[in-house]
Amino acid sequence: MADETITTPPDRSPADQQPAWREDFPIDWPQDQYVERRDFMKFLVLTSGALAVGQLWIAGQNWLRKARGLPPRRRIASLADLPVGGSLVFQYPEELDNCVLVRVAARDVVAYSQKCTHLSCAVIPRPDQGVLHCPCHEGLFDLRSGSPIAGPPSRPLPRILVEIRGEDIYAIGIEIRTI
């Protein structure tokens, strides 16, 4: 192991070809590189731990979502309040979950979460164009399906399942989709 004490210059050339200052400030470059790589590996293992913690966090959130169960059935509007081609914002299932309801025909309504699936900006319905528009990054969603048709969003808007009973419109659940 005697070679481990020798100072090796970066270009590994003989000592007599090295500048004079290297004798005063000797650095063992191979050893230095070894320590650097080892420390980088430690950092990568730390990153690996952070990524694993992130996965566990998602698993925890998934468990919480399942534990909450199905959202309640709730009356959200009356057909009389909403003309054909009109829209209104309501909260479902929690008070901070804004959703948008659009009446597309006399007895046909659609409802979606108002949060854009890109960066959670509020989408604005444009029934005359058949789209929901996200003004933040010019995202467009199809009004009939909630699927993204332009801009950065890649997932459809969560669909609020609605039911019309008589003149009343009820929200009865949420359908979250990847496609």
Partner 1 sequence: MARQPASRDQRATVVYGMLGFVLIVVVLQLWLLTATMNAFLGGDDGVVTPAAIVSIVCLALNVGLLRYLHRLER
Residues lying near partner 1 in the complex (CB under 8 A) are found at: 1, 3-4, 30-31, 33-34, 37-38, 40-42, 44-45, 47-49, 51-52, 54-56, 58-59, 61-62, 65-66, 117, 154-155, 158, 175-179
Please identify, using beta-carbon distances, which residue of 4 and 128 lies nearer to partner 1.
4
Q: Least distance from C-beta 154 to partner 1, angstroms?
A: 8
**Terminal CA-CA length for the chain:** 62
Please, which residue, 119 or 164, has the CB nearer to partner 1? Answer: 119
In the bound state with partner 1, the residue whose beta carbon lies nearer, of 37 and 75, is 37
As measured in angstroms, the least distance from the Cβ of 117 to partner 1 is: 7
Question: What percent of the chain is helix, strand and coil (3-state, nearest 5)?
Answer: 30, 30, 40
State which residue, 132 or 169, has the beta carbon closest to partner 1: 132
Q: Which amino acid is at 12?
A: R
Count other C-beta atoms under 10 Å from residue 140's C-beta. 19
Report the nearest approach of partner 1 to the CB of residue 132 (Å): 18
Show the CA angle centred on residue 157, arms to residues 136 and 106, nearest 5°: 105
Evaluate whether 75 touches 164 at the Cβ level (below 8 Å).
no
